[in-house]
């Protein structure tokens, strides 16, 4: 199976609305120093295997969970980018790069979520999502 994190990045880049705000600034696990804003930060948080007792070793995962953050210096721009990401992802099914999905679901993160893409920068607006990709 292709690398799901790279497929997810390609999927977001292919959306003209996301690209109109973030350009190609969609960063996986690491945000470069001196980053231009706004941008998207995401990381794969979880890989879920539904296991039956008679399954063979090496079964492919059933779903992946991502933390996705829309980050900007301007709250309105962060809201705009977050809206485009939600529209692109929520209830999507089909080809996500080289991965075929049964469904992608977006929900807000929990209240105690700590943003990871800001690098400690004060004054940035972060709108974060929990994105589940079922394959």
Going from N- to C-terminal start, the domains of the chain cover 4-52+60-134
Question: For residue 111, how many other CB atoms are within 10 A of its CB?
Answer: 5
Q: How far is 109 from 19, CA to CA, in rounded Å?
A: 23
CA 55 → CA 49, 50, 72, 89, distances in Å?
A: 11, 10, 45, 31
CB 78 within 8 A of CB 37: no
- Longest Cα–Cα distance of the chain, Å, equals 53
Task: Read off the pLDDT of residues 35-93 as tens digits, 9 standing for 90 and up.
Answer: 889 999 999 998 887 766 666 666 677 889 999 999 999 999 999 999 999 999 999 99
Architecture of domain 4-52+60-134: 2-Layer Sandwich (3.30)
Cα dihedral 104, 47, 80, 87, rounded to 10, equals 0
* More confident call, 96 vs 120: 96
Per-residue confidence (pLDDT) for residue 1, from 0 to 100: 40
Q: Which pLDDT tens digit goes with each residue over 8-32?
A: 999 999 999 999 999 999 999 988 8
Confirm if 1 and 63 have CB atoms less than 8 A apart: no
């Amino acid at each position: 199976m292709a690398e799901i994190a790279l497929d997810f990045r390609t999927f977001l880049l292919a959306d003209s609305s996301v690209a109109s705000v973030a350009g190609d600034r969609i960063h996986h696990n690491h945000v470069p120093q001196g980053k231009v804003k706004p941008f998207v930060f995401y990381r794969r948080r979880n890989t879920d295997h539904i296991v039956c007792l008679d399954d063979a070793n090496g079964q492919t995962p059933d779903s992946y969970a991502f933390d996705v953050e829309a980050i900007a210096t301007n709250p309105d721009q962060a809201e705009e980018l977050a809206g485009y990401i939600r529209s692109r992802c929520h209830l999507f099914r089909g080809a996500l790069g080289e991965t075929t999905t049964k469904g992608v679901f977006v929900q807000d993160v929990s209240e105690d979520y700590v943003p990871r893409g800001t690098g400690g920068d004060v004054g940035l607006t972060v709108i974060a999502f929990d994105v589940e990709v079922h394959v």
